[in-house]
């Protein structure tokens, strides 16, 4: 059955891979991100219907308008994949209030607002899927990313609380927790490591690859496969599914 899906952060990386996978499964996919050009490029790749909805997910009014646009075109969102996120690397003592707030707004508050907007219609319909792209640092602390780690710990708690609330309604809420994924976001991390340590970009990338037992970066498609699992199963609820090559075993 074709469902109405919304993917935030859909212009590249994991969001693009998730959108492609959902579309290949026969669903209609609304693509949300700040950059219209990237969204239109992804929309052109999808085999099925796509809706380009430019919006800054940290802007509450813009996010509400994005949901309204999808509802006006296709009806209520049935599958929400809250993927938009980013991180800044800095020692805790050098992390500014602005960096802290930005991490919370994008990685925690935006998924909260997305859920708050999407869940009522899902519960009413007695069917819905919410998947938040979190991180393995939702389950462990990691040096140099205190704000990012705190925001991802928070969003995993949000997922678990929401899942408990809707468990009897036919709606599921889960998180997918990737390790280092081969995306533009990781490219930024690689550049930061290279600048901080004097390593080459390739050496810095290998540092991240070696943090995962499989010895390589995770692919965006591998993260999308975990999202598909959450969308397809009514019995997976309240979980943080690790996609990290075995770095965090839980």
Q: Return the active site residues.
A: 148
Is the four-CA dihedral 249, 141, 220, 155 of positive or negative sign?
Answer: positive
The Cα–Cα gap between 134 and 226 comes to 12
CA separation, residue 97 to residues 100, 102, 103, 198, 201 (Å): 5, 9, 10, 28, 29
Query: Angle formed by the axes of helices 110-125 and 146-166, to 10°?
Result: 10
- Residue 218 CB coordination number (10 Å): 24
| Residue 190: burial class (beta carbons within 10 Å; 0-12, 13-18, 19+) | buried
In the chain, which residue ranges form alpha helices assigned H by DSSP? 13-24, 36-45, 60-73, 97-104, 110-125, 146-166, 184-197, 201-210, 220-232
Angstrom distance (rounded) from CA 44 to CA 23: 12
Using CA atoms, how far apart are residues 16 and 220, in angstroms rounded to an integer? 8
């Amino acid at each position: 059955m074709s469902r109405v899906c919304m993917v935030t952060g859909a212009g590249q990386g994991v969001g693009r891979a998730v959108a492609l996978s959902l579309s290949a499964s026969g669903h209609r996919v609304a693509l949300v991100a700040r950059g219209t050009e990237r969204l239109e490029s992804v929309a052109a790749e999808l085999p099925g219907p796509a809706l380009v909805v430019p919006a800054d997910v940290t802007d509450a009014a813009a996010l509400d308008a994005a949901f309204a646009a999808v509802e006006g075109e296709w009806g209520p969102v049935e599958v929400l994949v809250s993927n938009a996120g980013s991180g800044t690397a800095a020692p805790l003592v050098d992390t500014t209030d602005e960096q802290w707030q930005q991490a919370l707004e994008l990685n925690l508050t935006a998924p909260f607002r997305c859920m708050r907007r999407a869940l009522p219609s899902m519960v009413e319909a007695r069917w819905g899927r919410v998947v938040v792209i979190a991180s393995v640092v939702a389950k462990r602390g990691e040096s140099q990313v205190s704000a990012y780690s705190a925001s991802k710990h928070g969003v995993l708690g949000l997922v678990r609380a929401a899942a408990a609330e809707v468990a009897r309604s036919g709606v599921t809420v889960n998180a997918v927790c990737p390790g280092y994924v081969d995306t533009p976001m990781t490219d930024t991390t690689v550049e930061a490591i290279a600048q901080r340590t004097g390593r080459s970009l390739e050496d810095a990338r290998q540092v991240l690859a070696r943090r995962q037992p499989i010895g390589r970066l995770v692919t965006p498609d591998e993260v999308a496969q975990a999202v598909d699992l959450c969308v397809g199963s009514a019995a997976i609820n309240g979980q943080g599914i690790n996609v990290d090559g075995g770095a965090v075993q839980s």
